[in-house]
């Protein structure tokens, strides 16, 4: 069996950091030992490959629990990263597990949606992957199918309070689904924006001739994210189900999550790098292509309203549990479909490669501790989505998904440098300190000394447990 000893680095887990040596045998970490001990010396005398991580952190591979690869969003617009290109780009940035979505639209059977998505990803991924189910048609059969999926290892389900006429579920449908989640131990994920009210504002804006990109943001005010988050929390409380708010962008929504968590309710939330760094003023409120490139939902928020500081604070205080990307990139020709009318722009941004680095920048600026960086990028997302004991920690027995991370490397983000299949970048020109030097997935190098050595098909489909008892 192949053995590798990573030595000289500082091992960082969500519990803290210490200088240690990491032994990988086959696909697993089998020991984390103090340098200089008899065990460490024994390992060095063995046939293990020695990898020097001096000056670097050794961290668990990132777990990005919210991505959309090759997602057909509207006629003529499919997210541009495939399972192949998107998982390779993720690996470049130190992410070794992604969770994408199988989507059940109206009239489609849950089973067919899952099988179709599994066939698309099969043999394509460079890193391990799994699926949530996005449910757009809640009825007796789909609720029954939820039970079967949980048995099979799909243990999280996304519902939408937005997008009436498409993905939207009403409160009764959501409550019924939450009751099934409470019975099965599954996690309910919620897109919490009040879509009914948003559509009124959207139609009024368009009738008044306001069709530029910035109106995408102005017609989705943060109060309507706060309202929907409150309603989702109330419904989850009635059903007794755990709840995970996806892509939380607004201070009002975080306030509701704090309220629920302070009462001891099993409510969790993720935010995304775009809400921590980008804004309505600097992103959406630009003419033409520059504006539409920044359209995503929820929208980038007004800097002047102070959401970003609140979100960073939420990450520090554990009111926000996870940072995912909601990676859903569209190339310029598809973003341009709505250059004259924001309603026709496919929603989503490309960030899968940069999540670990953008959050490490929070360590550099003093917003987060090193341990908290690892917690929100790897440990907690693994635990909340049924990968506990396998992913998200550098601990004996876990999968050898490891990143040798150079905290002193500098980089400038942009489309010429990135590996995502995307012809522009909302991160163009952003300068960061820190970069993944080498990335290992289940004992196999995917990136070695900034060279890509991965392959499509290395990544395995993960069946997941129900989330670890929630805190």
Site track for ligand URP across 166-205, x = CB under 6 A = -------------------------x--------------
* Of 62, 93, 217, 348, the one binding ligand URP by CB under 6 A: 348
CB nearer ligand URP, residue 297 or residue 378: 297
Number of residues that bind ligand URP (CB under 6 A): 9
Contact between 278 and 311 (Cβ < 8 Å): no
- 182 contact partners, CB below 8 Å, separation of at least 6: 239, 240, 241
Contact between 433 and 410 (Cβ < 8 Å): yes
Between β-strands 16-19 and 3-7, what pairing exists: parallel, antiparallel or unpaired? unpaired
In the list ligand URP, Zn ion, none, the entry touching 220 (Cβ below 5 to 8 angstroms by class) is none
* Of 319, 326, 357, 401, the one binding ligand URP by CB under 6 A: 326
Site for Zn ion in 291-350 (CB under 5 A): 326
- Which residue's entry shows tokens 């722009």? 345
Q: Is 418 in the site for Zn ion (CB under 5 A)?
A: no
DSSP class of residue 410 equals: E
- 3-class DSSP state of 201: helix
Site track for ligand URP across 134-173, x = CB under 6 A = ----------------------------------------
Which structure tokens are listed for 292? 């539409």
CB nearer Zn ion, residue 8 or residue 273: 273
- 72 contact partners, CB below 8 Å, separation of at least 6: 78
CB nearer ligand URP, residue 20 or residue 292: 292
Site track for ligand URP across 268-307, x = CB under 6 A = ----------------------------xx----------
Q: How far is the CB of 305 from ligand URP (least distance, A)?
A: 19
Which structure tokens are listed for 375? 């917690």
Which structure tokens are listed for 199? 């559509």
Q: Name the CA dihedral angle for 146, 147, 149, 150, rounded to a multiple of 10 degrees.
A: 110
Q: How far is the CB of 43 from ligand URP (least distance, A)?
A: 45
Contact between 369 and 317 (Cβ < 8 Å): no
Residue 338 and residue 15: Cα distance in Å, rounded?
A: 46
Which residues is 32 bridged to in the sheet?
22
In the list ligand URP, Zn ion, none, the entry touching 390 (Cβ below 5 to 8 angstroms by class) is none
Q: Is 347 in the site for ligand URP (CB under 6 A)?
A: yes
Sign of CA dihedral 126, 60, 101, 71: negative
Q: Is 68 in the site for ligand URP (CB under 6 A)?
A: yes
Under the rule (CB under 6 A), what is the footprint of ligand URP?
68, 191, 247, 296-297, 326, 328, 347-348
Under the rule (CB under 5 A), what is the footprint of Zn ion?
191, 326
């Amino acid at each position: 069996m192949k053995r590798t000893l990573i030595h000289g680095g500082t091992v960082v887990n969500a519990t803290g950091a210490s200088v240690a040596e990491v032994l990988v045998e086959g696909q697993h970490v089998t020991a984390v030992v103090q340098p200089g001990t008899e065990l460490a010396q024994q390992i060095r005398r063995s046939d293990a490959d020695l990898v020097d991580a001096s000056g670097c952190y050794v961290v668990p591979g990132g777990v990005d629990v919210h991505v959309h690869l090759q997602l057909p969003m509207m006629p003529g617009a499919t997210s541009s990263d495939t399972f192949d290109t998107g998982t390779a780009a993720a690996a470049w940035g130190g992410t070794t597990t992604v969770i994408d979505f199988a989507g059940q639209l109206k009239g489609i059977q849950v089973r067919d949606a899952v099988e179709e998505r599994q066939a698309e990803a099969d043999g394509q991924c460079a890193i391990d992957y799994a699926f949530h189910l996005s449910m757009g048609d809640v009825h007796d059969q789909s609720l029954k199918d939820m039970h079967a999926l949980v048995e099979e290892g799909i243990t999280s389900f996304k519902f939408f309070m937005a997008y009436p006429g498409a993905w939207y579920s009403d409160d009764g449908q959501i409550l019924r689904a939450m009751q099934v989640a409470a019975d099965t131990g599954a996690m309910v994920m919620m897109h919490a924006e009040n879509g009914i009210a948003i559509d009124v504002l959207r139609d009024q804006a368009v009738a008044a001739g306001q069709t530029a990109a910035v109106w995408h943001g102005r017609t989705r005010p943060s109060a309507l994210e706060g309202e929907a988050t409150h309603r989702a929390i109330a419904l989850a409380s009635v059903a007794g189900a755990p709840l995970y708010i996806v892509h939380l962008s607004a201070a009002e929504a975080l306030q509701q999550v704090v309220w629920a968590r302070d009462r001891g309710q099993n409510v969790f939330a993720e935010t995304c790098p775009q809400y921590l760094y980008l804004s309505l003023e600097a992103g959406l409120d630009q003419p033409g292509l520059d504006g539409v490139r920044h359209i995503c939902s929820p929208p980038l928020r007004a800097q002047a309203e102070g959401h970003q500081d609140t979100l960073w604070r939420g990450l520090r205080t554990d009111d926000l549990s996870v940072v995912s990307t909601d990676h859903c990139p569209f190339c310029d020709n598809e973003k341009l479909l709505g250059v004259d009318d924001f309603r026709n722009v496919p929603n989503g941004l490309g960030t899968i490669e940069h999540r670990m680095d953008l959050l490490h920048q929070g360590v550099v600026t003093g917003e987060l501790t090193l341990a908290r960086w690892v917690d929100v990028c790897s440990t907690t997302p693994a635990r909340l989505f049924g990968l506990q004991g396998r992913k998200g920690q550098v601990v004996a027995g876990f999968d050898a998904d490891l990143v040798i991370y150079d905290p002193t490397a500098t980089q400038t983000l942009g489309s010429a440098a990135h590996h995502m299949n995307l012809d522009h970048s909302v991160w163009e020109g952003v300068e960061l300190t820190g970069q993944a030097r080498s990335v290992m997935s289940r004992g196999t190098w995917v990136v070695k000394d900034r060279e890509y050595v991965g392959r499509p098909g290395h990544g395995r489909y993960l069946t997941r447990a129900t989330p670890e008892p929630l805190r």
